Amino acid sequence: TKTEVFTITEMREPALEKDNTDKKTRIFEQYVQPCLVELLGTMLFVFVGCSSVIGNVGTTGAIQPAVAHGLALAVLIMMFGQISGGHFNPAVSLCAYLCGGMELLLLVPYILAQMLGGMVGASFAKAVLPPGLYANSAGGALVVLSNDLVTVTLAEIIMTMFLTLVVCMGAINSQTQTPMAPFCIGLTVTANIFAGGMVSGACMNPARAFGPAVVANYWNHHWIYWVGPIGGALLTVTFVRFVLGDRKTRIWL
């Protein structure tokens, strides 16, 4: 069927399929464990991300935040991809669902877990980094760096399109799947921060924006970090479903 499942069920232990598995265990492994993993992974990603931004003083450029975000994400997807798919990003979950890489039932719980994980991660960053630096950097929240909001939104759309394309082609689309997908996804984040970090902060992830916005109570232009990433994800879905996907994924030809 069209609605194939990503890495979530594919790599399950064989015993899972059997009827004699305890029902509680099956529910835990299919629903509870993946959601907890999304929460924990997003927490660690946002903790590292916010801390690397808050502490990036006296250095030049975006190298430290760019590399920290990219590596943390790559490692977390490599670790948790087999359990939850390793999204840690509502735009990625939406895109994975629409490209046939995730069950509908998990979509809303994943997004809630990611938003909660973002808040917890941002709280730990606040607890740990020096208050002066925390205040100066809006707690690692995303800050719009241009007056032209259309430009900023466009930047988020393009960069998230790139990111979600790597997710769909590298981890879902069977013709192009690769075990290196986690590194590809993380390193796309690094490259994008070098490309558009000085325009929009290169968020590409509403949960990364939402967590520190809540904790630092910083909401300036927050909508951009939902509209841009979701727009980019929908663009990717269009490309994959009409042009880039394999026969199983394409909805024509």
Alpha-carbon distance 65 to 53, whole Å?
6
Q: Kindly state whether residue 26 participates in binding Ca ion, applying the rule CB under 5 A.
A: no
Q: Kindly state whether residue 141 participates in binding a second copy, applying the rule CB under 8 A.
A: no
In the 8-state DSSP scheme, what is residue 30? Answer: I
Residue list 146-165, contact with a second copy (CB under 8 A): 146, 151, 154-155, 158, 162, 165
Chosen residue from 106, 144, 187, 216 binding a second copy by CB under 8 A: 187
Residue list 84-123, contact with a second copy (CB under 8 A): none
* Span near a second copy by CB under 8 A; candidates 17-25, 95-103, 210-218, 219-227: 17-25
Residue 17 or 246 with smaller CB distance to a second copy: 246
Residue list 193-252, contact with Ca ion (CB under 5 A): 247, 250
Residues 6+ apart with CB under 8 A from 13: none
| C-beta atoms surrounding 253 within 10 Å | 6
Residue 127 or 219 with smaller CB distance to a second copy: 127
What token pair was written down for 170? 């590298």
Residue 98 or 189 with smaller CB distance to a second copy: 189
Q: Kindly state whether residue 80 participates in binding a second copy, applying the rule CB under 8 A.
A: yes
Q: How far is the CB of 64 from a second copy (least distance, A)?
A: 5
DSSP alpha helices (H): ranges in the chain?
A: 7-10, 23-27, 33-54, 63-84, 90-98, 104-128, 131-136, 149-167, 181-200, 206-216, 224-239
Q: Pick what 83 binds: Ca ion, a second copy, none; C-beta below 5 to 8 Å, kind-dependent.
A: a second copy
Place of tokens 């939104």: 153
Q: Kindly state whether residue 58 participates in binding a second copy, applying the rule CB under 8 A.
A: yes
Q: How far is the CB of 249 from a second copy (least distance, A)?
A: 11
**Start-to-end CA span in the chain (Å):** 16
Q: Pick what 218 binds: Ca ion, a second copy, none; C-beta below 5 to 8 Å, kind-dependent.
A: none
CB 223 within 8 A of CB 200: no
Q: How far is the CB of 210 from Ca ion (least distance, A)?
A: 34
Four-point Cα dihedral 162, 164, 165, 168, nearest 10: 170
Q: Pick what 47 binds: a second copy, Ca ion, none; C-beta below 5 to 8 Å, kind-dependent.
A: a second copy
Size of the site for a second copy (CB under 8 A): 80
Chosen residue from 6, 8, 52, 118 binding a second copy by CB under 8 A: 52
DSSP letters for 189-249: HHHHHHHHHHHH-----HHHHHHHHHHHT--TTTTHHHHHHHHHHHHHHHHIIIIIS-TTT
Q: How far is the CB of 126 from a second copy (least distance, A)?
A: 10
Q: Kindly state whether residue 235 participates in binding a second copy, applying the rule CB under 8 A.
A: no
Alpha-carbon distance 76 to 89, whole Å?
12
